[in-house]
Amino acid sequence: MKVIILIILEVLEQPLKLLTDPSSRTWWPAILGAVLISATYEIINVHGKKLTTVYREFMLRLFLHPSSLVDLKLIIVRAIVKVVCIASIPFSAKLIAVKVVGLAYTVYGQPPFILTDPSLVIPYSFCFLLISDFSRYLLHRFMHSTSILWRFHQLHHSAEVLTPFSLYRTHPVEQMLQWIRSLLVIGITAGGFAWLSMGKASIWTLYGVPGVMIIFTVLGANLRHSHAWIQYPDWLEYVLISPAQHQQHHSVESEEQRSNYGSVLSIWDLIARSLKRSKEGKPKAFGLLEEHRNHEPRSVISALLDPFKNESNTQNKNVK
């Protein structure tokens, strides 16, 4: 009985952590910043409309839209899945990092050079960004190009409006894959740099360093899931994915969904020739056409269960 109570309390606590944890994309200062930037953008682009119209059409229309309400309900589902996974899978990023350090000493012995604390953070943060972002890109492409994975990734693309909480509009199957990816990236990277520092920078310290990603979040990462059409200079969009570029990826047009798979960096799309710059056009709408989706986007039950059905008449429009 105590175990059940603890699980229930943990499930109730998880949604609050999304707002209070600085490492979360929806940390409350990041959400506040996204709303303020988006609202400022809308006000600047009023073009003769009254501010009350902007407020009604932009703020309330997005956060109270039926699609957004599904996003919020899925956060509870996400919390349940996370608690169950933590209870049932006996390893973590820290444990993986410890194993990596042991393996490195067994295979290579002493590291060829030693990184001290002052010189450790910058190369570790840079490597973590590259490895993490590339792994996100690969998994994202597989989600689109593999029919069985596209069934579940459809839930994310079925969002009819975009808010920062749309980030968590994911099916539990995709959530598990992303969780495993994250464990491996953090564990392997932290373990490798713990070995290079000869223990001067502990695994536990390195595990927290990815918090530098907070900078990307506060500076507008949440605007990727918004209706604020914010573009970067054309040359910069060859390096970093702008909010507008990610919104192109969420277009209702399947051809546009086959572009801009990157999370932070756009160099992966540039190399794979899937890069689309914002100057090429704004999406007409977000979501999936009815004939292209396998679930009802405004129903949580349908979104969770229908992707498991073998619907032969539903083609993967994301694969050429």
What DSSP string runs through 138-179? Answer: HHHHHHHHSHHHHHHHHHHHT-SS--GGGGG---HHHHHHHH
Average pLDDT of the chain is 80
Kindly report, residue by residue over 5-47, the tens digit of the pLDDT. Answer: 655 666 667 677 777 776 677 777 777 777 777 777 767 766 6
Give the per-residue pLDDT at 320.
47
Give the per-residue pLDDT at 274.
95
Burial of 271 (0-12, 13-18, 19+ CB in 10 A): exposed
Q: What average pLDDT does range 40-67 have in this prediction?
A: 65
Any idea how long the chain is?
320
Q: Domain spans of the chain? A: 2-308
Select the more confidently predicted residue: 210 or 141: 141
Kindly report, residue by residue over 78-87, the tens digit of the pLDDT. Answer: 888 877 776 5
pLDDT over 60 at 316, yes or no: no
Indicate the pTM of the whole model. 0.83
What DSSP string runs through 263-316? Answer: SSBSHHHHHHT----GGG---S-BS--GGG-SS-TT-HHHHHHGGGS--TT---
pLDDT over 60 at 73, yes or no: yes
Kindly report, residue by residue over 95-146, the tens digit of the pLDDT. Answer: 888 888 888 888 888 777 766 666 677 788 788 889 989 999 999 999 999 9
Q: The dihedral of CA 121, 124, 130, 131: what is its sign?
A: negative
